[in-house]
Structure 1
Amino acid sequence: MRDILVTIIVFALLPRIFKKPYVGVMMWVWISVMNPHTQGWGFATTFPFAAIIGGATIISLLLTRDPKNLPLTSVTWALIAFVLWMNVTTAAALMPEESLVQWNKVMKIMLMTFVTLMLVKTKEQVHLLILVIVGSVGYYGVKGGIFTIVTGGTDMVWGPNSTFIEGNNEIALALIMTIPLLHYLQMVYTDKRVRFALTVAIVLCAIAALGSYSRGALLAIVAMGGFLWLKSQNKLRIALLVIVAMLPAVAFMPEEWSTRMDSINTYEEDQSVQGRFNAWWMAYNLAKERPFVGGGFEIITEDLFYMYAPNPEDLHAAHSIYFQALGEHGFVGLGLYLLLGWLTWRTGTWIIRNTAKRKELHWAFALARMIQVSLIGFAVGGTFLSLLYFDVPYYLMAAMVITRVLVEKELKKQATSVVDNKGPGSAGQFGQLSPSQSQPVARDSG
């Protein structure tokens, strides 16, 4: 039944992609992030929904007469440079055949990120993009939170099979990134029932993250929660939510959970942690020998660990977005990735600075702040996970860029209106400017 439902939804919406190409972006994000077809047990689990949606979206992009220019901001140029460099490192990969397989997957994600930047053009479409991301990940948060409560936290929460967020650590980080986006929705919706439902979803996502038994997620949720409190305009509400909901949730978790979290303090004795350190050293040693291009995709092999790892018999994935970038793409690749994150952050700061006192741009102000909080969670949690190519951060980056473009257009429009109103006799006709019109635009090269 689930297979049939997903198939009906996809094929029913396909014609709309050719009328409204941005619909294809939303469908792609839904399929690639939520992977609803993996929730069935029949033909849909292996059906190429993503390829069909992606193909239809690209065709509609080529055919549409609507504006489809790529916003060339500093973030966009950094992403272009990072993508081009990944192609260079693939050409010089130590494991060429295996590298090409992963290259194919990563380039599809990057291609659709650029398509998102080209097709999502309005405030409503940005908001819809956030809704799709929240719904896609939040589904597993609500489901996992209820599961944790029902089982008393004795069973571990996992993500959907054969996806980026399949593992307990990965789904936990995805949920942590989603919580600030849920709070953004609370900030822009006025209906009390909707806000209450979002609060319930936030609590369940946090409980599901705890139920994943992920130690990295615990560190990420602390960092994200602290930054969420700093960035929120409702600090009292956030504090009360932690006191009323989250502290009892931590106390609710069983002894096995507490024992696992306590092992953070004795990481020297933890084989899993030591295995990650071994993988980090392996990536660093490889990058020292090949500082520009690294080893290319798929460097976790017995031969390479024998050459570069302190303990060649302990094979582990990089378990860090930073060491993954370093090992696979060298110091240049890591530098470009960090630059991409920094420029995205500065873009958010620019949006916040220029919209803080403009009611008509409150949505952009709230979104930029919460995307920054979400990226803080990813930056901390990603220290311990191999999620360099996880697509959600790239879609949030695209949302940040598009939001800046929209804010710039609105500010330019207001500035033009102010100039027009300053013509002869305008003072008597229009009176003084409103505060929103008279606010200066903050300058920022980012």
Structure 2
Amino acid sequence: MRDLAVTLIVFGSLPFILKRPYIGILMWVWISVMNPHRESWGFATTFPFAAVIAATTLLSLVLTKDRKDFPVTPVTLVLIGFIIWMNVSTVFAIHPDQVYGNWNRVIKIMLMTIVTLMLIKTRRHIELFIAVLVFSLGFFGVKGGIFTVMSGGQFRVWGPADTFIGGNNEIALALIMVIPLMHYLQIMTDKKWIRHGLTVAMLLCAFAALGSYSRGALLAIAAMAGFLWLKSSKKLILGILMVISIPVLVAFMPDQWTERMDTISTYKEDSSAMGRINAWWMAYNLAKDRPLVGGGFEIYDLEVFGKYAPIPTDVHAAHSIYFQALGEHGFVGLGLYLLLGFLTWRCGSWIVRNTKKREDLKWAYHLAAMVQVSLIGFAVGGAFLSLLYFDVPYYLMAAMVITRRIIEEQLKSEAQLGRSNAGDIARSNAQALAPAASRFLG
């Protein structure tokens, strides 16, 4: 039944995608982030729905007569530079015969990010885009939160298998990132039942994140909560809510959860933590040896660790977006990635600064602020996870760029209208004064 439902939804959407290309982006986000076909057990599990949607969206992009120009901004230029550099590092990879699978997956994500930047144009598009992201990740948060509450936090929450967020740490970070986006939708709706529903969903996402037993997620929650408090206009109320709710959430978890979180302060005694540090040293040593291009994809094996790691036999994944960028793409790749994050942040700050006092642009103000909160969570939690190519942060980057473009165009239009009105008033005054001046001079 689930196989049939997903198939009908996907193929039923194709005519609408051909007519309205942005629907293809919404469907792509749903399929690539939520992976609903992974929740079935039949033919749909391995059917290439994403490829079907991507192909239809690209065809619609070619056929549409709507504006489809690519926004040329500092953020998008650095994104293009990062994509190019990933291709360069792939050419010079340590294992060139093994990199195609990862390269193919990453390039598809980057291609659809570029298409997103070309097809999402309006406030309505952006709000639907965010809503699909919230639904796609919130599904696992609600399900995982209920599981955590029902089990008393005795068992770990895991994400959908064979996806970016399949692991307990990865799903925890994704759920932390979606909470601010839920809050954005909550702010923007005037329907009480939606607001209350989103409140419940946010609490369940928090329970699910804690139920993952992820130590990195706990640090990300702390960083995100602190930044959210700083950005809030109601610091006293929010502070009181945090003081009340956070201890309640933590107190709900069993002793085994508390014992695992306590290992944050004793990481030198934890083999998992030390394995990550060994992988970080490997990435750093590799980058020193190959500073421009790094090692490319697929560098986490005995051969590479034997040459660059302090403990050659302790092979681990990167376990850090920053060391992953450094090891796979060198110092240039890491620099481009960090610059991309910095410019995206600056883009959000520009939106906040230029919309804060405009009631009609509050939607953009709240969106930029909540996306920044979400990205703070990713920046902290991602320091301990191999999620360099996780698509959601790139989609949030695209939402930020598109929002700024909308605001810039509106402000420019208003400025031009103001100058035009001022000119009309000046001409009208001049015409009114002309007869009197003529009589005076005559």
Q: TM-score w.r.t. structure 2 length?
A: 0.95
Query: One-letter code of the match for 1:357?
Result: K
C-alpha distance in structure 2 between counterparts of 1:107 and 1:20, whole Å: 24
Name the structure 1 match of 2:154: 154
1:134-283 matches, cutoff 5 A:
134-283=134-283
The CA distance in 1 between the partners of 2:44 and 2:237, in whole Å, is: 42
Residues of 1 paired with 2:268 and 2:280: CA distance? 15
Quote the offset at 1:190 in angstroms.
Answer: 2.0
The separation in 1 between residues aligned to 2:205 and 2:75, in whole angstroms, is 30
CA contact 1:68–1:119 (8 Å) conserved in 2: yes
Aligned mates of 1:424, 1:34 — CA distance in 2: 54
The answer for the alignment partner of 1:384 in structure 2 is 384
Matched letter for residue 116 of structure 2: T
Partner residue, 2:336: 336
Cα deviation for residue 244 of structure 1 reads 4.2
Residue 422 of structure 1: SS of its match in structure 2? helix
Distance in 2 (alpha carbons) for counterparts of 1:196 and 1:428: 54
Kindly state the Cα deviation for residue 242 of structure 1 after the two structures are TM-superposed. 2.6
User: Do 1:203 and 1:246's aligned partners in 2 also have CA atoms closer than 8 Å?
Assistant: no
What amino acid maps onto 1:341 in structure 2?
Answer: G
Match in the other structure for 2:366? 366
Provide the C-alpha distance between the structure 2 equivalents of 1:52 and 1:244, rounded to a whole number of angstroms: 48
Write the distance in 2 (CA, Å) between the matches of 1:136 and 1:240. Answer: 30
Whether the aligned pair in 2 keeps the contact of 1:294 and 1:330 (CA below 8 Å) is yes
Deviation at 1:236, TM superposition (A): 4.2
Greater gyration radius = 2
CA distance in 1, matches of 2:428, 2:98: 72
8 Å contact kept, 1:89–1:329 = yes
C-alpha separation between the residues in 2 aligned to 1:424 and 1:81? 46
1:247 shift after superposition = 2.0
Q: 1:441 is matched with which residue?
A: none
Q: Deviations over 1:159-216 (max 9, x none)?
A: 0011000000000000011011111112211222221111111111111100000000
Quote the residue 2:310 is aligned against.
Answer: 310
* 1:411 aligned counterpart, secondary structure: helix
What amino acid maps onto 1:186 in structure 2? Q
Give the whole-Å Cα distance in 1 for the aligned partners of 2:236 and 2:50: 42
- What is the alpha-carbon distance in structure 2 between the residues aligned to residue 12 and residue 107 of structure 1? 27
Residue 238 of structure 1 deviates from its aligned partner by 3.0
Q: How many angstroms does 1:426 deviate by?
A: 7.3
Measured in 2, the distance between the counterparts of 1:59 and 1:239 equals 50
Q: For residue 108 of structure 1, what is the aligned residue in structure 2? A: 108
Supply the distance in 1 between the matched residues of 2:46 and 2:236 (Cα, whole angstroms): 47
Q: Distance in 2 between matches of 1:132 and 1:301?
A: 37
Is contact 1:352–1:369 with CA below 8 Å preserved after alignment?
Answer: yes
State the alpha-carbon separation in 2 of the partners of residues 426 and 263 from structure 1: 72
CA distance in 1, matches of 2:239, 2:33: 30
Deviation at 1:237, TM superposition (A): 4.5
Aligned to 1:86: 86
Secondary structure (helix, strand or coil) at the match of 1:382 reads: helix
Once residues 318 and 377 of structure 2 are traced to their aligned partners in structure 1, the CA distance between those partners, rounded to angstroms, is: 19
Which moved further from structure 2: 95-104 or 372-381?
A: 95-104
Letter in 2 for 1:27: M
Once the two structures are overlaid, the 10-residue window that deviates more, 113-122 or 1-10, is 1-10
1:296 corresponds to 2:296 = yes
User: How far apart in 2 are the matches of 1:244 and 1:347?
Assistant: 34
Which residue matches 1:401? 401
Is 1:124 aligned with 2:124?
yes
Aligned letter for 1:235?
K
Task: Summarize the Cα distance change of 1:114–1:424 in structure 2 as closer, same or farther, 3 Å threshold.
Answer: closer
Match of 2:436 in 1: none
Partner of 2:3: 3
Deviation of 1:105 after TM superposition, in Å, equals 0.5
Bigger shift: residues 50-59 or 94-103: 94-103
SS, match of residue 98 in structure 1: coil
Counterpart of 1:70, as a letter, is: F
RMSD (Å), alpha carbons: 1.4
Aligned-partner Cα distance in 2 for 1:149–1:428:
71
Deviation (angstroms), 1:229: 1.5
Q: Map Cα deviations across residues 272-325 of structure 1 (whole Å, 9 max, x no partner).
A: 000000000000000000000000011001101100000011110000000000
CA 1:274–1:158 in 2, change beyond 3 Å: closer, same or farther? same
- Assess if the C-alpha contact under 8 Å between 1:231 and 1:370 holds in 2: no
For residues 424 and 228 of structure 2, the distance between their equivalents in structure 1, rounded to whole angstroms, comes to 48
- For the Cα contact (< 8 Å) 1:421–1:427, is it kept in 2? no
Query: How far off its partner does 1:98 sit?
Result: 1.4
Letter in 2 for 1:115: V
1:423 Cα deviation after fit: 3.0
How much identity, in percent, do the aligned residues show?
A: 64
Separation in structure 1 between the aligned mates of residue 428 and residue 381 of structure 2, nearest angstrom: 58
- Structure 2 CA distance, aligned partners of 1:7 and 1:119? 24
1:438 — aligned with what? Answer: none
Runs of 4+ in 1 over 6 A off after TM superposition: 426-429
Q: Give the structure 1 partner of residue 440 of structure 2.
A: none
Tell me the amino acid that sits aligned with residue 311 of structure 2.
N
- Following the alignment from structure 1 to structure 2, what is the Cα–Cα distance between the partners of residues 25 and 121? 12
Q: What SS does the aligned partner of 2:41 have?
A: coil
1:284 aligns with 2:284: yes
Once residues 123 and 267 of structure 2 are traced to their aligned partners in structure 1, the CA distance between those partners, rounded to angstroms, is: 46
1:439 corresponding residue in structure 2: none
Residues 113-171 of structure 1: per-residue CA shift (max 9 Å, x gap): 00000000011001111001011001101111111000000010000011000000000
